[in-house]
Chains A and B, each alone.
Chain A
Amino acid sequence: MGVYFQVEEYHRPQDLAQAVDILSRFGNRAKVIAGGTDILPLRPGVKKLDTIHHLVDISKLGLNFVKKENDHICIGAATDINTISASPLFLSGPYGALSDAAGAHSTATIRNRATVGGNLCNASSCADLALPLLVMDAMLVAAGPKGARHIPIESFFKGANFSALNKEEVLLEILIHSCSEKTGTSFLKLRRHQTAIDMAVVNVATSLSCKKNRCEAAGIALGAVAPIPFRAKKAESVLVGANLSKEVIRKASAMAAEEAKPIDDVRATAAYRKKMVAVLVRRSLENSMRRCGQ
C-alpha cells in the first residue's frame, strides 16, 4: 500500500502542555491538525506539504465548545463549523453574520469536520468565518510556552496563508464580546455556483448599530480581494454618524470597492471582483439594517 500523505509521526497530546512541548520541539516541521480538511488536500510538490513531518492532533484538548459567559461568547478553536451554523446563539440579531457564514462555508459534509480555528489559522484571504469575526472585533486566545496571549483578530492575518501565530502556539478559543441588540450583522458570499462547493469570488460581512436612523457604529470586512481578509475602514467612516439613506449606503459601497485590491485568477477578474464588492457590500448593509430593526 502506497502511503498517500507523507508524515513521519502523528502526535496525540493529552493536554495543552504536551501539545506546546511537541510544537516547540519540532518547530517548522510540525503542524497542528484539527479537522484536517485543509491539510489533507495538499499534494506532494506543494511547498507547504514538504515541510510537514509531524502532525499534532488537538482533538483531545477539549477545544470543541460554544458557550455564553457573562459579557462574551466563547467558541473553542476545534469546534466544527456545523455546530456554529446550528447553534441558537448565532441564529438571530447581532450574531446573524456568523450563522450565515458558517452555512455558506464549503458543504454540509465538509463542515462536519472543518473547524472554525482551522478556517482562521489557514489564513486564506477568502476564509468565510474570518469576516463576521472581523466585524464583531473578535479576540483570539492562543497559548504557547510562555502562556496564553490575546490577539485581536484584525492583527491576526499577516499575509496569504500566514498568521500571527508562532510555530509553537495553539489557537485555543475565539471570544466575541456581547453586542447590543441594536446591532445587526450580515454575511454574503458570491461563488461561481451558489449551492456547490467553491471558494468565494468575493465575500463580505457587515455590521451596523443604529439609533433611529442614525448610524452609531459600522463594520465592513472584505474577503478574497486582497492577500488577507480586512476591514474597509474608509467605507466604515462614511457610515458612522450619518443618517442611513440609500445614498449613504451606496457611497460606502463604492468606497469599499475602492479599498479592495483584488487580482485576476481562475475564479474571476480583478475588475469583476471590484464591481461585485460594491454590490455585495450594499446588499449586506441593507440586510444588517433590517436586522437591527431599522
Chain B
Amino acid sequence: MKKVDIKIHVNGDWYELAVDPGDRLIDVLRDQLDLTGTKEGCGEGECGACTVNLDGQAVLSCLILAAQADGCKILTIEGLQRGPELHPMQKAFVSESALQCGYCTPGMIMAAVALINNEPEPDENTIRKNLSNNLCRCSGYDRPVKAVLKAANDMKEDINA
C-alpha cells in the first residue's frame, strides 16, 4: 500500500500528513489529529454525525477519503470556539436544550454553521431541509431547529451591534 502525502488546513493550522489511500477524512481527524469531537455513526452517509465543513460547505467526513481533502480547509466542532467563549450556534444549542446524549450534536452544529454562513437568514423549512442529513435519536428535531433560528438571529444582532 502506497502512502499518500497530503496537506490539509484544519481549524486554523496546516498539517502535512502521510495517509493510507483508504483512510477516510474522519479516520485522519480522529486518529491522527485527535479531534474526537467529530463522531462516527453509521459510516455510510445516512446519519450525519460526522459532518464537518470543507471549504465552507457541510460534508460528511465518512464519505470523503483523506486524500480527496488534500489542499482543503476543514473546520470541525473543535475549531468553532474562539477563546473561552462558545460559538453563537453552540450557545443556542445549549440555551434551547437542543441535545440530550449529544452524539449527533457536533454534526448538527457543523451542518447548521455551514448553512448560516451561506444563507444568514434561513427560514424554518430551509433549516429542516439542510439538517435532514442529521439524525437525532433522543431529543428530536424541533429544538435543534429553534436553536438554529435563534443562532441566526443572534449572529445578525452581533453584526449589527
Contacts and interface: CB of A to CB of B under 8 A. Distances in A.
A12 B4 CA distance: 10
A112 B57 contact: yes
Contact of A57 (B24, B48, B63, B67): B67
Interface residues of A, number: 28
Contact of A195 (B21, B62, B111, B132): B132
Interface string B1-35: 11010000000000000001111100100011000
A59 interface: yes
A10 B59 contact: no
Contact of B63 (A10, A41, A196): A41
B23 A108 contact: no
B126 to A, nearest CB: 9
A224 B15 CA distance: 44
Interface string A36-65: 110011000000000000010101000000
22 contacts: A7-B21, A8-B1, A8-B21, A10-B21, A10-B67, A36-B63, A36-B65, A37-B63, A40-B44, A40-B65, A41-B63, A106-B133, A108-B129, A110-B45, A110-B60, A110-B63, A112-B54, A112-B57, A112-B59, A113-B60, A195-B129, A197-B46
Nearest to A103: B129
B51 interface: yes
Given A36-B68, A57-B67, A112 B21 contact: no
A41 B22 CA distance: 12
Nearest to B65: A36
Contact of A109 (B31, B48, B65, B70): B48
A1 B27 contact: yes
Contact of B22 (A3, A108, A110): A3
Interface of B: 1-2, 4, 20-24, 27, 31-32, 43-46, 48, 51, 54, 57-60, 62-65, 67-68, 70, 111, 128-130, 132-134
A181 interface: no
A110 B2 CA distance: 28
A36 B111 CA distance: 19
Interface in A179-205: 195-197
A9 B132 CA distance: 34
A196 B132 contact: yes
B58 A109 contact: yes
Interface in A139-185: none
B38 to A, nearest CB: 14
Contacts of A116: none
A-B complex: 9 closest residue pairs judged by Cβ atoms: A5-B22, A10-B21, A107-B133, A41-B44, A109-B133, A7-B21, A112-B57, A7-B22, A10-B67
A107 B59 contact: no
B21 A36 contact: no
Interface string A238-251: 00000000000000
B46 A113 contact: no
B51 A109 contact: yes
| A7, A40, A59, A109 — most chain B CB neighbours (10 Å) | A109
A12 to B, nearest CB: 7
A195 B124 CA distance: 14
Given A4-B22, A4-B43, A8-B1, 12 more contacts: A1-B32, A3-B22, A6-B22, A10-B2, A40-B45, A41-B44, A57-B68, A109-B51, A109-B60, A109-B130, A110-B45, A195-B132
A108 B27 CA distance: 23
B21 A55 contact: yes
A9 B65 CA distance: 12
A57 B111 CA distance: 26
Contact of B67 (A1, A12, A107): A12
Contacts of B51: 109
Nearest to A5: B22
Contacts of A113: 59-60, 63-64
